[in-house]
Amino acid sequence: MSGNSTRLTTGSTALYVFTALVALLGFGCREQPAVRELSYEEMSPADVLVSVNGRSLTKGEVATKLAKTYQNALRQPGGNANLAGQTVLEERGRIVDAFVGRRLVADAAMRQHLLSRDALSEYVSSNMTFRAKEQNLSLADYEAREPRMARYLRAMFEENALIAAFIATNLAPKVAVTPEVVSNYMAEVDAENALVAQTNAALRARLETIRRESLADPNRWEGLAAGASVDDSSPRECEYDDFDSVETAKIVFGTPVGGITAPIEEEEGYRMVRVTAATGAGATNAFGEVSARGTRTCSQIYVEKEPPFLKWSFEETERELRRQITAQLMKGAVEDLRTNGLNRIDYPHGTNFWRRTRAEQKRPRALDKYTDKEKK
């Protein structure tokens, strides 16, 4: 090994930042002649979707990752089957290309001898020991109890370390983010947000003009509302709980019949409501149900605000700029590795494995560990 091998420490900030970066990037892949084209559904768990320099990604491994993605999405606040299925679709679109990109970079780090064998072994062992301690086990006991997971984690930690070493050696020196660059970027964000504020102020002023003109001549409301609102402005019966915010509901239910609220600022837009009829508490709504607070017949104008740019601290801005520059450099590096003639990328069953066969298209497809929709 080279005497200039990169050293790693457990918990290295660069490792986790760059590992996440590489995992999220999508990389194009060079197609190889297929031995036999199969869709994902037609493959057995042992069938290989792609291999990079002899390292393979099987359907079984993909299915396990997608099943975990689905379950994790279900456990998120507000998670449901539809959202979890969409999350699986998004992950499915990344998983193969991410594997290819990570393997190309890890193999390049090996060829460059960026890590000594001792440094790599120490890093992997330290992280494995930490995982074992999380379950109150020694490393030996953990590996005996969870042999498959232990093998997976060792391979993952080794790959992570190699990727981080590649970035630290080949990319990080090219990332120049000076204090002046950070300050200029922050000034640009301030300038853009000032324009956003002006745009939103103009939207609010337009609504206030519509309100004044409609109060002066109620016959003008319908045409002005239809031309201004991004939502349907037709009158409809509303109950207190129909509004997204309690504050909006309070204002609307406090407005007399014939009145028009001032523009109400909500999280993503402005809402202005004209009340044309009202019923009292205990009245029956259009569905024959008793309304505890009564109802209001409302015609609404809703316009979306221009969202502001995120404003970070100096340190956060510097990190984000480094992340963006590194992402671009990584994309170029992977493309070079893909075409430099030193790597072999094989798709034994073709690259169109997410297609559905005619037989599969004729039967319903349950939302299980894969997805309930096909990516168009």
- The three state secondary structure string of the chain is CCCCCCCCCCCCHHHHHHHHHHHHCCCCCCCCCCCCCCCCCCCCCCCEEEEECCEEEEHHHHHHHHHHHHHHHHHCCCCCHHHHHHHHHHHHHHHHHHHHHHHHHHHHHHHCCCCCHHHHHHHHHHHHHHHHHHCCCCHHHHHHHCHHHHHHHHHHHHHHHHHHHHHHHHHHHHCCCCHHHHHHHHHHHHHHHHHHHHHHHHHHHHHHHHHHHHHHCHHHHHHHHHHHCCCCCCCEEEEHHHCCCHHHHHHHHCCCCCCECCCEECCCEEEEEEEEEECCCCCECCCCCECCCCEEEEEEEEEECCCCCCCCCHHHHHHHHHHHHHHHHHHHHHHHHHHCCCCCEECCCCCCCCCCCHHHHHCCCCCCCCCCCCCC
User: What is the structure's pLDDT at 35?
Assistant: 64
pLDDT along the chain (376 residues), means of 10: 44 43 45 70 94 95 91 87 88 92 96 95 95 94 92 93 95 93 94 96 96 94 90 87 88 94 93 93 76 88 93 94 93 94 93 67 38 35
User: What is the structure's pLDDT at 258?
Assistant: 93
User: What is the structure's pLDDT at 32?
Assistant: 52
Among residues 87, 97, 107, 82, the alpha carbon closest in space to that of 162 is found at 107
User: What is the structure's pLDDT at 7?
Assistant: 44
CA 255, 256, 259, 265: dihedral to nearest 10 degrees?
A: 0
Q: Residue 4 corresponds to which amino acid? A: N
Predicted TM-score (pTM) of the model is: 0.66
Rounded Cα distance, 129 and 126, in Å: 5
Whether the Cβ atoms of residue 239 and residue 285 lie closer than 8 Å to each other: yes
CA 217, 219, 221, 226: dihedral to nearest 10 degrees?
A: -150
Cα 96 from chain centroid (whole Å): 17
